[in-house]
Amino acid sequence: MSNDSRKKIDNYSSLILPNKPAIVFNEKEYGKTLVISDLHIGYLYGKNKRGIIVPSSESPEEDLLKLNEEISSDRLIILGDFKDEIFGGTHPLAGRIWQFLNKLLEKTTVTIIKGNHDGKIEELLPEEVELIQPSGLQLKEIVHNKNIGLWHGHASPALDVISSDVTISGHAHPAYSFRDEIGSKITEKVWVKANWLNTNGSNQKRIHLIMPAFNRYIDGYSVDGEYFKMTVIMKEAINFQEAEVFTLDGVLIGTIKELQDSRNILMDTIKQRRISEKNLRKKKK
């Protein structure tokens, strides 16, 4: 984190953190509030149980403890899918969650909005943790005087949440797969910024953000693909095709439509190249 970025945070500004899948708000009720989504504690444990070995360094919990220490938040909001096991939490995951949350509670207030992976999460939480239902919550951001609506994204938000000036969800794990003509692919997490469609004749623009997954081992789903589109349940109410896509360091790489068009052109190029190579091999024979 740069000194300039740290200075802004220390001045209680509200911003998307550079190179981090996280946002800091200056909230009216609590002060400095850190928001992340899709922590998916136990993700690697579940993979390993199925025989899929993923090389790992630090855990997502360690990443969050470190970031929260840097930010010195007054409140931490986890925007759903706190854990990876959909139904409850088996040993040793339950003990791991308990220890982790108690470490966080020594430093900050913790709020968890329930996601689709957070079944029976009530049984795993210290009583000091605030648990919000999937319909979400609204907070007041005081730097820009905006109402912020937060929910996970797998269920319908409450009316006050969806009516906020800025709305934020997770769940969809937005990413973008950078490809080249020889078929190589690198997938990186991205932010998606869309405008809500105005149905009441108002000229006021309301913004919707889709957060990338905080868990470092989850790349996500490429925003130009059909699977990502299926996971965004409110897509009919936002200008989905014209939604802007940003890398974690803030670079605009295009709208979803532009990225879809680019992918189609690239796929056609790859297809034609393969046909040409196949025909060339036939001629050599």
Please tell me the predicted confidence (pLDDT) of residue 260: 95
Sign of the CA dihedral with 221 first, then 49, 123, and 86 last:
positive
Sign of the CA dihedral with 77 first, then 136, 152, and 94 last:
positive
Vertex 198 angle, CA 192 and 202, to 5°: 125
Residue identified by tokens 């009583």 is 127
Closest CA to 158 of 65, 167, 145: 167
pLDDT tens-digit readout, 214-242:
999 999 999 999 999 999 998 999 999 99
Instruction: Give me the phi and psi of 60, to 5 degrees please.
Output: -60, -35
* 212, 267 Cβ separation under 8 angstroms: no
Please tell me the predicted confidence (pLDDT) of residue 158: 97
Please tell me the predicted confidence (pLDDT) of residue 56: 61
Tokens encoding 138? 């609204």
How many angstroms separate the CA atoms of 76 and 61, rounded? Answer: 13
Please tell me the predicted confidence (pLDDT) of residue 248: 96
Point out the residues of the chain with pLDDT beneath 70. 1-13, 45-57, 91, 181-183, 199-203, 277, 285
Sign of the CA dihedral with 109 first, then 250, 82, and 51 last:
negative
Closest CA to 177 of 133, 223, 137: 223
Task: Tell me the pLDDT of the chain averaged across its residues.
Answer: 88
Radius of gyration of the chain (CA): 21
* 205, 252 Cβ separation under 8 angstroms: no
3-state secondary structure string, 202-220? CCCCCEEEECCCCCCCCCC
Sign of the CA dihedral with 181 first, then 182, 183, and 185 last:
negative
Instruction: List % helix, strand, coil for the chain (3-state, nearest 5).
Output: 30, 25, 45
* 78, 41 Cβ separation under 8 angstroms: no
pLDDT tens-digit readout, 44-54:
865 555 555 45
Please tell me the predicted confidence (pLDDT) of residue 9: 47
Domain residue spans in the chain?
Answer: 3-284
Tokens encoding 47? 């993979």
Please tell me the predicted confidence (pLDDT) of residue 14: 76
Question: What is the distance in angstroms between the CA of the first residue and the CA of the last residue of the chain?
Answer: 58
Residue identified by tokens 């900050």 is 108
